[in-house]
Structure 1
Amino acid sequence: MILIKNGRLVNPATNTDEVMDVAIENGKILKVEKGIEENGFEKVIDAAGKIVAPGLIDVHVHFRDPGFEHKEDLLTGSASAAKGGFTTVVCMANTKPVVDSVEVLNYVQNKAELVPINIVQAAAITKGFLGKELVDMKTLKEAGALGFTDDGLPINDTALVMKAMEMAKELDVPLSFHEEDPSLIGNPGVNAGEVAKELGLVGAPNVAEDVMVARDCMMAMKTGAKVDIQHISSGNSVDMVRFAKQHGARVYAEASPHHFTLTEDAVREHKTFAKMNPPLRTAWDRDKIIEGLKDNTIEIIATDHAPHTTEEKTGEFQNCPSGIIGLETSLALGIMSLVNAGHLTYLQLMEKMSVKPAELYNLDTANIAEGKPADIVIFDPNEKWIAGDYASKAENTPFTGMEMTGKVKYTICNGRIAYEDK
């Protein structure tokens, strides 16, 4: 039994923001009230001056397992997640082999039993990520896949996407889409702008994202499917998602901390460590993303945690893989770029990092209430620290060495301490 005393409970599911105690027993929330007596508890955590919130949920991570364990694996990825305050993550399917069969899905699920947090494995939408034939979505859902995505690659066959949405609507599962038309991209990983020109590259323009977001928003309106627009980077795409929502589409959108914090200028300083798909764009795009977060056009913050080895990320820009890690800096960047900047309250930030991700994947968590799973993060919103010393195998991020505000002190998953800052 664990008792959390004197913490500022920020629980968006109940719109609670006040000092409360939280008692945990047998993996569940036993009670939430003021002045709970300490007698009988195995561990008492004094959370005075700290925020106690639902465990964070990331609907977009790459743990590279199976097939690319030299970059990350389920064990190190989970340690990174726990250090960042995450109690649940959704792993993408672009592994080797691709998660397009029950056998590969079972491998991940069995290995996930060894880690201290909850792992949800998304399955591929198309077999082998080839964009030609749908997987057996019904069988994979029955085996435990809670959603489907070909993240990393767009699906260019519009009729196939429509068919996938119709099936997803029938099964009540989300589809998550990587929205970049490769035929419109000169060089991936950098915005088609001034910085790309300085590097002698063509880059990736907004329109490569915009055309696919528009397509999938319109089809979501037609089919009624639950659709997630992943790592939105273009201000125009934010407007299109807003339009689709206003017309009844079940479209969710996720923003990554790097996209609401940085611009393409970061590529000048950090080079390949600021290369990702879709790329960092202009200050206008960043501000449009923040606007979308403020008015709930964008309901979800997701890291797109994408580990690569240092060797892979230190070659020529155009030859290096895209992607950065993000689990251990996500909360602090949300605090600094959104809360401290006056764009969101802590209730709103926690909603985007727990409640709405849970809603997308139909998870019964993200609520510190009696009888609910005891998935909790405790963090000091004012503590400063320097980004680095990662639990992840990888270090590919432009944020290393930056002073951060907001530090995770405890991550509790299913009533057990998964991480403690010592």
Structure 2
Amino acid sequence: MTGDTSGTAQPDEPEQSTGISRRAALFGGIASIGVGAAAGVAATRALADSTTPAPVATATAAPEGQPVDAAGPEQAGVTRPAVRQAHALIVVGFLDVIDAAADDAAAHEAIGAALANAGLRILTLCTPPGDDTVTPDGPGDLTITIGLGARPLELSDDPSTAEFVAIPMFSGDDALPEAALSGDVFISVNATDPGVLDSSLRAMTEALGGVTLAWSQLSFRGYAAAGDGVSRNPFGYFDGITVPRTPEDLASDVWISSGPLAGGTICVARRFELDTAAFAALKLSEQDAVMGRERATGVPLSGGARDDDINLLSKSPEGDFLVPARAHARAAHPSFTGSLLMLRRSYNYVNSADDVGHVFLSYSINTDAFAKTMVRMEEIDDLFVYMHATAGGAFAILPGYDARTPLGATLFS
């Protein structure tokens, strides 16, 4: 997806895969590092008893490189900072504490302790001065966001929450390794300084008691000239133009309002490898027709300004649609699916000259908007020819937390 999927016409792109086995160790053995579950809970309670309540984070963005409060009613890294950081390390994996547990009850307790420990670690890492063994120059605008897949949700206090991350198989998914489309945990480590990503991820996998890698991607966003986070994808077109921005839109379309996931959201992550060489071989007019927008300005082919919604009914004097019938902007437009807006915070990647792509990340109250858009793209989107999914999944981004309310407390009491 690379053109218009955020709920109104949004650019959407790609990902890459790994095919690493479910038991492959994450970053050379971190998966086998254990954590004392009781110690994690005790440490969280000790900090809560010795500190004042953490301040509630606002929805406004911190200046680039400035600290982002990890505490609040929602996790940082979704709407805070408002403009996503320049670099990200996305990891999906399996929680070792589940596989090490003797039974479901033990797994439930171990997951709760691991999440509480992870939340405490995030608060330490992201609050100045940070941890000099992980971020020796301070945390900057580091954020670490945690989501859970179906298996740990099924072991939670409310197993029905696993339904939130149910998502269908799409074209080509049956050819991917099982691990590329599943996972217990989603970890998004984001920062302006890419040098803190790897060390922060290591600290997080240790805090969680070990994570076995399913897939991962080091990624970046392009230059956001307008200061609104809109940047270009590997095809050279603006990505993420239309997203929910007002508190009202975020409340209705992004943040879950009730139940144990209240204050959380659902992230759909999907990595696409892009055939940028084949796309670049098209004439510029042909590229614009595939996208439904002008490459230079981002203006819809139906006219107007970059941020205007696309007029899908607009026609030329000859009677042809100005936005072609198979343009991405038309195929991904939510008017055809009746879907909510998706908050897009996607990233690009370049693994090699022959492996270029896009990690599509959307946040919404369910997986419905993404699933309906994907099906439509498969059927009538000319951009789909240049995209190949290599990994993906859906994850419940846990509600916010602070020193007194551990991460995951609403699901693992």
Question: Do Structure 1 and Structure 2 share a fold, with TM-score over 0.5?
Answer: no
Q: Which has the higher contact order (CA 8 A, sep 6+)?
A: 2
Q: Structure 2 length normalisation: TM-score? A: 0.26
